Structure 1
Amino acid sequence: MNDRHPDRPAAPRRGLALLTLCLAVLVAQVDMAVVNLGTRPIGEHFRAGVTALQWVVDGYNLAYAVLLLTGGLLADLYGRRRIFMLGAAVFTGATVLCAAATSVWMLVAGRALAGLGAALLMPASLAIVRVVWQDARERGRVLGIWAACNGLAMAIGAPLGGVLIHRFGWRGIFLAVLPFSLAALLLARPSIPESSDPRGRSLDAGAQLAGGLALGALAFAAIESHEAPRVAIAALAVALAAFVLFVRIEGRRGATALVPLDLFGLPAFRAAMIATAGMTFGMYGLLFLLPLHWQQAGLLDATRAGLALIPMALLFVALSPFSGRIVAQLGARAVSCAGVAVIAGGLLLVALGAGHASIAWAEAGLALAGLGMGLATGPLMAEAVGAVDAARSGTAGSLINVARIAGATIGVAALGAFYAMAGGGAAGLRCAMLAGAAVQAGCAASAWRTARPR
């Protein structure tokens, strides 16, 4: 199969295609959000320790990180719709396995399988957007809606998880997403045109192993950074060595590589990678530390901490659909870099409010962070997939997701370390947020310079 120039579907089918893609993104993100709330009842049901429960959450993240590059290449080689449907089917099966788990390690296996499904779904969904919506302005609008689904998942994930656990037990959090993943699977064939473009490329086994090892070891280092720092340092060393090997392998393969290195010679693509990594570095560090600080300081319990995050998510959802229109007026470079800088401003406000009895400063910072995410997320995805040929859209989709997960993984680990080194509490939060704001501002400035017209 080599449909290099697929027919664009008619307008009604394109609307259905967008709904299908949004369902997949929403399902994957909500699933991640609600599982965090289910760890306590899962632990009580299986009498599981902290380590096992940590892997219930992180088994998904690790599998996703290891297989992300593979998912993007498979979409380009064998068909974006086919791999999207395969990802939806795997995710659906994994959800059933999780809901039916009879042991905690069976649940961990189901979560890892869900990570595989997401690694196939996410790059394929971005590649499909690149192929179906070929006009840059229209693609920007579509990716704004696609990005809004991430914010919607943040907004509904915590409250939905709490209700489901209260009414149906922990198995309900998995069964609730099943109808939506099935809908995405069933709607894909009639709404999404098939496309692929191998162009002499292959699965590139050596690069697959090296790239997967680099991403997996990086994720593992973040997972173990708090409980086993020496293990984390060793894993980080493995990640760096694997990354060097990966670059050497890809440099020799040239245009047929798993990740053709000439993509990074494209200023817009390189800038999108830098800004995306910076964006998730600060955001995920914020979302990890702020609820933790609220609960440890006795300001809010877990339920109220989840509710306090909703205004940020709603601002993200409200602004994202209009980001394409804003880009049309101001340009992608200005909007995406400004969005990352606005998030940095939000982290600064949280730092200034650390130690206050009121959460007003933190809420103002979260509002800025939500606005920044709404401004930046869609344009950054559009820049990444729009900077490359449609033939490489799956690879571009996987790489921008690599930037997202790498930034998030390093951000949680690094800002968590700053928090701990400063003794936790208000001082720890202030130190971590200042560090996160500095990194984000630096990434925004670097992306601005990188993407400047030549």
Structure 2
Amino acid sequence: MGRGRPAIAGGVTRHRWPALLTLCLAVLIAQVDTAVVNLAVRPIGQYFSAGAAALQWTVDSYNLVYAVLLLSGGLLADLHGRRRIFVTGAAIFTAASLGCALAPTIAVLVAARAVAGLGAALLLPASLAIIRVGWPDDRDRARALGLWAACNGLALAIGPTLGGVLMRWAGWRSIFFVVVPAGAATIALAPRTLDESSDPQGRHGDAAGQVLGAIALGALACAAVALHDDARLAGIAFAAALLALIVFIRTEAAHGAAAMVPLDLFRAPVFTAAMMATTGMTFGMYGVLFLLPLTWQGTQRLDVLGAGIALMPMALMFVLSSPFSGALTRRLGPRPLCCGGVAVIAAGLLTIAGTAGMPSLLPALLGLTLTGLGMGLATGPLMGLAVGAVAAARAGTASALINVARMSGATIGVALLGTLHGLAGGGTAGLRLAMLLGAAVQLACAATAWVATRPRP
């Protein structure tokens, strides 16, 4: 199917189920990697005798590069072909996973994780763009996005449990080796199941914007991590991030419609609200995934396998609720699903915060269940809200931007909440404080998005 001439811009995918299977397999690969690494932080730290900052960068090197290069990934998909960029990203991600598995030092592991972030930055926006142009009907696209989002939850369900079993019997390196065959399968399937499409429209790369975006987000993450040990360095990094952001906005405004980030997209309240709610959602969600297993293992409540199993309520609820998000969106509209879902996640974090240190794990499991429910309700509609708010020609860029919001929230959430956890002395006290801040940020983002998307008179 994919061996003929490239499809016209916005062409419809002919064999949708095989295509969706390929796209969902790619999502599984990227998200399993994320879920497993959060669980493996403590074993990796013990193996390399690494400190807290190095462990934060083991997670955030991937998140940071992913978030920063998503801007270029979406643009490259639009310019040079969505299938081509999808396959390139899958190949890079697979090779980087092998590099992680063979890493001799913590520095090499962090570097390989960063390369994996590059692969994901090409892979995921291209997959969303393919859905946007291949499923032009709103109902069909909502269903496809619901299944795409469900794969995120399935990855969260598979990742911790599979990772716990693998680490128990084969060590932490095995969690990276297991990704390689799935990556190879994705590379083999893509040319056979996906049509090619592109929409150049005279657009071009933006090296200055890319560098400024990288500096802004990277400096912000550095500021959050450095806050624990060096307040002065944190202040300098924050100032650098703010300056880079200001220059970035001016640079993109000067490029107009040809910019890497067309600023006119943010004039649409719906698109801006989706970006804000997505950032808040992942800020707290990734904080839970990073800190809860670390706290359980650090306080000797659970070993790595037990922690992986204990995370399953969140993942299973995500899997069970995600397929219904499309139907609920058609019935209720995206606004209640997007904003309400983020608020439900915040309720889960508040439950974990309020019951931290209790002898029973049941309250924490309830909090995780609420978190998974909120993720399932909000993830698909948020993606659809953002991507559906733009023309098909900008599908790659819009999908990249919503993923930038997702991974920016994750990057800053892990960095800031991890630092706050350390400042409070770690353990249950640190977990409680971090979860309270995570919930507060989520509620603020959900409320702001609700107001921004209210019907206009």
Normalized against structure 2, the TM-score is what?
0.91
1:390 correspondence with 2:366: no
Tell me how far apart the structure 1 counterparts of residues 54 and 449 of structure 2 sit (CA, whole Å). Answer: 39
Name the SS of the counterpart of 2:118 in structure 1.
helix
Paired residues for 1:176-215 under 5 Å: 176-215=178-217
1:162 correspondence with 2:164: yes
Aligned partner of 2:95 among 93, 96, 99 = 93
Tell me how far apart the structure 1 counterparts of residues 39 and 314 of structure 2 sit (CA, whole Å). Answer: 19
- The number of residues matched between the two structures is 451
Residue of structure 2 equivalent to 1:271? 273
> Bigger shift: 165-174 or 138-147?
165-174
Tell me how far apart the structure 1 counterparts of residues 412 and 254 of structure 2 sit (CA, whole Å). Answer: 29
TM-fit CA distance, 1:245: 0.6
Q: Is the 8 A contact 1:218 1:236 kept in 2?
A: yes
Residue of structure 2 equivalent to 1:139? 141
TM-fit CA distance, 1:427: 4.2
Residue of structure 1 equivalent to 2:364? 362
Aligned partner of 2:121 among 119, 122, 125 = 119
Residue of structure 1 equivalent to 2:341? 339
Distance change >3 Å, CA 204–CA 351, structure 1 → 2: same
Residue of structure 2 equivalent to 1:152? 154
Residue of structure 2 equivalent to 1:110? 112
Tell me how far apart the structure 1 counterparts of residues 305 and 168 of structure 2 sit (CA, whole Å). Answer: 12
Q: Is the 8 A contact 1:285 1:408 kept in 2?
A: yes
Residue of structure 1 equivalent to 2:256? 254
Letter in 2 for 1:187: L
Distance change >3 Å, CA 394–CA 54, structure 1 → 2: same
Tell me how far apart the structure 1 counterparts of residues 80 and 23 of structure 2 sit (CA, whole Å). Answer: 18
Distance change >3 Å, CA 103–CA 422, structure 1 → 2: closer
Tell me how far apart the structure 2 counterparts of residues 170 and 358 of structure 1 sit (CA, whole Å). Answer: 28
TM-fit CA distance, 1:254: 1.1
Q: Is the 8 A contact 2:296 2:302 kept in 1?
A: yes
Tell me how far apart the structure 1 counterparts of residues 61 and 410 of structure 2 sit (CA, whole Å). Answer: 16
TM-fit CA distance, 1:229: 4.4
Residue of structure 2 equivalent to 1:449? 451
Tell me how far apart the structure 1 counterparts of residues 105 and 355 of structure 2 sit (CA, whole Å). Answer: 43
Q: Is the 8 A contact 1:62 1:220 kept in 2?
A: no
Query: Which deviations, in whole Å up to 9, do the C-alpha atoms of 1:360-392 show, x marking residues without a partner?
Result: 222111111111000000100111111111111
Distance change >3 Å, CA 356–CA 98, structure 1 → 2: closer
Letter in 2 for 1:7: G
> Bigger shift: 170-179 or 382-391?
170-179
Name the SS of the counterpart of 1:197 in structure 2.
coil
Query: Which deviations, in whole Å up to 9, do the C-alpha atoms of 1:93-115 show, x marking residues without a partner?
Result: 22233334455544443322211
Residue of structure 1 equivalent to 2:26? 24
1:34 correspondence with 2:36: yes
RMSD: 2.4
Q: Is the 8 A contact 2:163 2:308 kept in 1?
A: no
Query: Which deviations, in whole Å up to 9, do the C-alpha atoms of 1:264-307 show, x marking residues without a partner?
Result: 01121111001101111121222333333334444333332221
Unaligned runs of 5+ in 1: none
Residue of structure 2 equivalent to 1:8? 12
Tell me how far apart the structure 1 counterparts of residues 298 and 102 of structure 2 sit (CA, whole Å). Answer: 34
Q: Is the 8 A contact 2:167 2:304 kept in 1?
A: no
Residue of structure 2 equivalent to 1:171? 173
Tell me how far apart the structure 2 counterparts of residues 246 and 176 of structure 1 sit (CA, whole Å). Answer: 39
Tell me how far apart the structure 1 counterparts of residues 445 and 56 of structure 2 sit (CA, whole Å). Answer: 30
Unaligned runs of 5+ in 2: none
Query: Which deviations, in whole Å up to 9, do the C-alpha atoms of 1:32-84 show, x marking residues without a partner?
Result: 23234455665676x56436665444432332233221111111111111111
TM-fit CA distance, 1:423: 4.8
Distance change >3 Å, CA 146–CA 205, structure 1 → 2: same
Tell me how far apart the structure 1 counterparts of residues 303 and 148 of structure 2 sit (CA, whole Å). Answer: 32
Letter in 2 for 1:379: P
Normalized against structure 1, the TM-score is what?
0.92
Paired residues for 1:369-408 under 5 Å: 369-408=371-410
Query: Which deviations, in whole Å up to 9, do the C-alpha atoms of 1:169-221 show, x marking residues without a partner?
Result: 44322221111111111111121111111212110221111112212223333
